[in-house]
Structure 1
Amino acid sequence: MRALVSARLGADFTKLWAASAVSNIGDGVTMVAGPLLVASITTDPALVAGAVFVQQLPWLLFSLISGAYVDRLDRRQLIVIVNVLRAGALTALATAVATDTVTVAVIYAVFFLLGTGETLADTASGAFLPAIVAPDRLASANARLSATFTVANQFAAKPLGAWLFVIAAAAPFGVNALTFAVAAVLVAKIRPVPAPPSRPRTGLRTDIVEGVRWLWRHHLLRTLAVSMGLGNVAFCAAFAVFILYTRQRLGLSDVGYGFLLTTFAIGGLLGTAVAARLQATFGATALLRAGLLIEVVTHVTLAATTTPLIAATVLIIFGIHTMVWGVIVVTLRQRVVPPHLLGRVGSVYSLLDLGGAALGSLLGGLLARVWSVTTPFWIAAIVMALIAVAAWRPLRQASAA
């Protein structure tokens, strides 16, 4: 597979692809181990959900600023530096866990730093890809990266993270630190790309406003960003307490929780395999609309069921939807946004998308504390139904974009 990717998309993409694969394994391990670590210290739903919230909070605080700097700085070097710093933060967390000095506050602090790094590295990666991949190969490159994310982050890493945590609580975080270090080396080996044409230096605020204004004036991208921003409030309100949901509602063990999360990966892998064929057959508009309906059905089913097999089945379908939706939206954005604005427009999109996730994570813990672990799922279903109604007509532009 490595040779095939290299031949079709170039050696530089292969390095970026390999770095993504390695770091996604580490990210997935921490995604599972993080809630398990907090849940080993406290059973308070709000505190468990807070660990997710603090990692997403930087998207609310720094997303627009990060986008502006991504368009000002060397994107390749920025990714390298951020990966090195994230490796250091995770090493500190692993040490605290191993020496039994870890607290909820320490976990929150490290996760906040990881989230801050994500606002820079993820935005820079999305903006960097069009510089090393030809425009007509962007959809293929995004599909391969999505497939790698699915296999590494969601399929391989989730049970691995749960298993490592059971063996030694510090191990998952040490593994993630190592993966970030390896990813930094791989990205550093990518050839420097020519800098974009120089522009008159403007203030940070002016740069940010330019990105916000461009996205807001593009009707389709605005609809997609707002829809998923609100949708992520609903989704993350439900899934912020997923570890408690699997224990209390489905009766699963910690390892069972990790395996249930891999159903996302199974669906995601299927989604990346069929995304191009589905889009050619049905068009982007039909797929995006169908995705909104799938989100409604997913939340209703998870709220109502107590059977792990039913939950796993609906999560596979949901995983197909997320990958198909993601490939369509990311490729569309990379094609229509001017190169010098990719970082800022991408950061505005991420602010709405992941900022919504941060708010949802905080809200989900509070809802579960007041009512039950299924309450956020019922509310999410209602919210997604309203979003589907509002976005239905604007999405008709997607197939023509």
Structure 2
Amino acid sequence: MPRLVETLVPARLGTGFRWLLASSWSSNLGDGIALAAGPLLVASTTDDAFLVALAATVQWLPPLLFGLWAGVLSDRLDRRLLVVAVDAARAGVLVLLALAVLTGEAPIAVVLAALFLVATAEVFADNTTSTLLPVLVDRDDLAPANARLQTGFITVNQLAGPPLGAALFTAGTFLPFATQAALVGMGAVLVSRLRLPARERVRARTRVRHDVAEGLRWVAGHAAVRTLVLTIFVFNITFGAAWSVLVLYATERLGLGEVGYGLVTTTGAVGGLLGTLAYGAITRRVSLGNLMRIGLVVETLTHAALATTTSPLVALPVFFVFGAHAFVWGTTSITVRQRAVPAGLQGRVGAVNAVGTFGGLVAGSGIGGVLAQHLGVVAPFWFAFAGSAVFLLLIWGQLRHVAHADEETPAGEPAGAPPA
């Protein structure tokens, strides 16, 4: 057992990283349960395609509204206490939602409001949590540490969580949300055990607008990070359009039931595990720029394949390949960003990235809801394919900026120095 623990979480990454990893796994299991249970609750409350897509919108809107402010707070305040506070608030909202569902007092308006509040708390928790890793581990260990966090995310959030959430929903519609509340609360307790090194914080006397503008200017002036933010924004418009009606696509177009819908996410997670195992070998043989290009081609073809099939036997392998792509892209993107960004700007630059990410998802979910309502559930997937293909042609040359970004040293830090 000690040898297994050392392999999974090497001692060189430190005790703090182990607490962070345990907290991440606990919270991600809860979020994975909701990944299936949330859409199922909405679909059981209404069969209106627009309202189903709106449920995705209200969960993707908070990062767009509050992401930049979350970045400022995470650079100003005690990051550990901020994560604990917002996770405790998130658990409280989930308890209230579970009680409302149990007592039959959860109309669609209440469900949407609860999803919005939970997603709002998650903005502050996720943005701040992403700034903890560069503080806890050395710069050279960021890639393996991120890979372990992503492995946990895939395993518990997307592999174990969704089928468990679907099963709990079948047993009792309130159970998934009560379980998620307990797991998020446990995550808050675990992260409270962290002991962070002292760091220089953003001076409180600066205006919030100044701090936000500083983060935006840094992103605009850094070619690799700017390219990543722009790419994730546009590709999430197309992705959000298709995935906002995924529950309807899985249940209606593919003929899968409630548990079968959880299988869709699980299949993608298995692909993500393949990406986990192969990530080191891939990055030794393929440049980051080419890795980005390959991933975007895979995503574009994914939408086309899903738009043209009604068979789960065809669709599930597509979700498998897409899961592998998503892991490789996500791990590369966050590692490039964490290595390039100075410690004092981690929160704000991460927030700019989050705004780009969820800004695209919000726009895409709105488009997907309208298309599905008027043209059918397949229309968002055709839109996603066409939009991805056009942008891929436009961004192809710019991806060269990513090629050597992970070799850069953040401004103001000596080469090889760990983040402050």
What's the TM-score once normalised by structure 1's chain length? 0.98
Quote the offset at 1:397 in angstroms. 2.3
| Structure 2: distance between partners of 1:255 and 1:163 | 7
Quote the offset at 1:192 in angstroms. 3.0
User: Which residue identity does 2:98 align to in structure 1?
Assistant: A
What is residue 235 of structure 2 aligned with on the other side? 231
Q: Does 1:153 align with 2:157?
A: yes
What is residue 416 of structure 2 aligned with on the other side? none
| Structure 1: distance between partners of 2:96 and 2:266 | 28
- Pairing 1:35-184 to 2, within 5 Å after superposition: 35-184=39-188
Structure 2: stretches of 5+ with no match in the other structure: 406-420
What is residue 216 of structure 1 aligned with on the other side? 220
Cα deviation, 1:316-359, whole Å, max 9, x if unaligned, reads 11111111111111011001111101100110111011121122
Q: 1:363 aligns with which of 335, 358, 367?
A: 367
Cα deviation, 1:191-218, whole Å, max 9, x if unaligned, reads 1321226647310000000001110111
Which region of structure 1 is more displaced relative to structure 2, 147-156 or 48-57?
Answer: 48-57
Q: Does 1:34 align with 2:28?
A: no
Q: Does 1:250 align with 2:254?
A: yes
- Pairing 1:213-362 to 2, within 5 Å after superposition: 213-362=217-366
User: Which residue identity does 2:335 align to in structure 1?
Assistant: T
Which region of structure 1 is more displaced relative to structure 2, 260-269 or 175-184?
Answer: 260-269
Instruction: Work out whether residues 227 and 402 of structure 2, in 8 Å CA contact, stay in contact via their aligned partners in 1.
Output: no
| Structure 2: distance between partners of 1:244 and 1:281 | 39
What is residue 400 of structure 1 aligned with on the other side? 404
User: How many residues are aligned here?
Assistant: 401
What is residue 186 of structure 1 aligned with on the other side? 190
> Residue 103 and residue 200 in structure 1: after superposition, are their counterparts in 2 closer, same or farther (change >3 A)?
closer
| Structure 2: distance between partners of 1:161 and 1:197 | 40
Quote the offset at 1:259 in angstroms. 1.1
Structure 1: stretches of 5+ with no match in the other structure: none
Cα deviation, 1:143-189, whole Å, max 9, x if unaligned, reads 00011000000000111111100000000000000001100110001
Structure 1 runs, 4 residues or longer, greater than 3 Å off:
1-4, 197-200
What's the TM-score once normalised by structure 2's chain length? 0.93
Instruction: Work out whether residues 211 and 344 of structure 1, in 8 Å CA contact, stay in contact via their aligned partners in 2.
Output: yes
What is residue 23 of structure 2 aligned with on the other side? 19
Instruction: Work out whether residues 29 and 160 of structure 1, in 8 Å CA contact, stay in contact via their aligned partners in 2.
Output: yes
Cα deviation, 1:274-298, whole Å, max 9, x if unaligned, reads 1121011111111100001001110
Instruction: Work out whether residues 87 and 122 of structure 2, in 8 Å CA contact, stay in contact via their aligned partners in 1.
Output: no
| Structure 1: distance between partners of 2:365 and 2:179 | 25
Instruction: Work out whether residues 227 and 401 of structure 2, in 8 Å CA contact, stay in contact via their aligned partners in 1.
Output: no
| Structure 2: distance between partners of 1:190 and 1:87 | 20
User: Which residue identity does 1:323 align to in structure 2?
Assistant: F
